[in-house]
Structure 1
Amino acid sequence: MPLIKLETAADPRVADYVALSDAALRQRTDPAQGLYIAEGSKVLRRALGAGHVPRSFFLAEKWIEGLADVLAEYPDVPAFVGAPGVLDAVAGYPVHRGALAAMNRPTPLTLAHVLAGALRVAVLEDMVDHVNLGAIFRSAAALGIDAVLLTPRAADPLYRRAVKVSMGAVFQVPWARFASWPGGLAELREAGFHIAALELTDDASTITELAAAGHDKLAVVLGTEGDGVSAAALDAADEAVLIPMRPGVDSLNVAAASAVAFWELRVC
């Protein structure tokens, strides 16, 4: 299929890319329409490398040459090309990276599927910040976390910003959602996981002590910025753990804390 030149932001053929900056809207509409947006050449290529299927491409002219091999591989997929001003008007924000693709969402994985063979999993409780979510996936991919599990109210890992921050790690690390929370922790325990909540409590062990305990299967629960892990999840966990810090500092950003915890608890 030849490149399709966009002359106006009102072109109905690029409806998949309208209002990309509206997180609340996109988190409602994208899953319902079975799509997600991959932004940036590297992320786009990683999505395709993971076997995901493109619906269309949306790019500035300067990216045509650099993505010529991709466009040639998918000759039947429409590729919309426009000036930066037109792309920005469609998306609702400055499209600096200049190359996007609307992708078909893969079939959601089941809890049983992502836990099969897993030894280290991260549980993200009600995490709605897409930057933190994406950063945690990136650390999980780098530091040996086998799966990420999300509570029902957690944000969508395939939302554009989470995908971009993760640098495509959301395609690499298997993930699934619990059907209920904190009831889902019982399923983890039945699967043989020791459950540790990363939270400051009076009786918390250190992350080093947890690593030394030698649990074969370990699930680390991470809470939201500010609120941390909920009381209900703490009650359902086997123990609370903390990262020792210098006096006067009691916490790290949750994404930074996850990287420290994943490194300390990695399976060598």
Structure 2
Amino acid sequence: MPVIRLESSADPRVADYVALSDAALRQRTDPVRGLYIAESSKVLRRALAAGHVPRSFFLAEKWLDGLADVLDAHPDVPAFVGSPGVLEEITGFHLHRGALAAMNRPEPRDPAALLAGARRVAILEDIVDHTNLGAIFRSAAGLGFDAVLVTPRSADPLYRRSIRVSMGTVFQVPWARLDAWPEGLGLLRGHGFVVAAMELTEDAVPIDVLAAENPPRLALVLGTEGAGVSPAALAGADRTVLVPMRPGVDSLNVAAASAVAFWELRAR
């Protein structure tokens, strides 16, 4: 395995790992450069198991033995090894979850092709918090939703924090980014989906009411953390649903609400 020991944080060969702590910068540059960063040994193993292709590995000396099988399986992929201080100078944060890997970003999926075989789909409208995004993907994977669509202004599901919070399930759940929103509602209707928006409105019904109807194909819109589902999306939805709450509490965090809704609205 080609282990390359780093002596300086200025080594140009590790450009993929520079300034990982700058989320805004990485969200702009990583998709353009065709890469994403898998953080932690567990996550990078799940990325490899999903068929994603590594560009390089990046780790401290103490993690070499634990990843020997991975490095041996990719003899042409360089493994950059350095002291904790050098690695932190490069990335901008202390590495304590094992190895990182720079991965080639897979080709974007076609939303129409993704919908063809799905019964339950989550639509993430302008969700920008990477922790929420990752948690929603984990719930979708565990609770039976077949696919996720993200709107143009939503955060990147392949940003390293989103991947880490999802525990790598972002590699399991098929997802695609819509080109336009709320125009994308037409695509869902064309594939026979009932579109339900999760929002506190006067005409919203409890999710168990919709669950009892068990629509053959259902798309659930989850809105941004602050403003919720947009007025345009609400106007275009077929139904509005809510999680019934005790008095004095209006709503749950969007990630928590998604888990409740995915369980209740799963296909039966």
Q: Summarize deviations over 1:129-186 as a string: whole Å, max 9, x none.
A: 1000000000000000100001111111001110111111111000011111101011
- Is 1:129 the equivalent of 2:129? yes
Q: TM-score, normalised by structure 1?
A: 0.99
Residue matched to 2:87: 87
CA distance in 1, matches of 2:75, 2:216: 47
- Which letter does structure 2 place at the counterpart of 1:210? L
Q: Secondary structure at the match of 1:66?
A: helix
TM-align CA RMSD: 0.7
- Is 1:15 the equivalent of 2:24? no
CA distance in 1, matches of 2:111, 2:226: 28
Residue matched to 2:242: 242
Residue matched to 2:193: 193
Structure 2 unaligned segments of length 5 or more: list them. Answer: none
- Is 1:259 the equivalent of 2:259? yes
Residue matched to 1:152: 152
Aligned length: 268
CA distance in 2, matches of 1:255, 1:110: 25
CA distance in 1, matches of 2:181, 2:195: 14
CA distance in 2, matches of 1:224, 1:153: 10
Q: Secondary structure at the match of 1:67?
A: helix
Do the aligned partners of 2:214 and 2:265 also contact (CA within 8 Å) in 1? no
- C-alpha displacement of 1:240: 0.6
- C-alpha displacement of 1:2: 2.6
- C-alpha displacement of 1:67: 0.4
Q: TM-score, normalised by structure 2?
A: 0.99
Residue matched to 2:178: 178
- Which letter does structure 1 place at the counterpart of 2:187? E
Describe how 1:203-214 pairs up with structure 2 within 5 A. 203-214=203-214
Residue matched to 1:5: 5
Describe how 1:19-168 pairs up with structure 2 within 5 A. 19-168=19-168
Residue matched to 1:215: 215
Q: Secondary structure at the match of 2:65?
A: coil
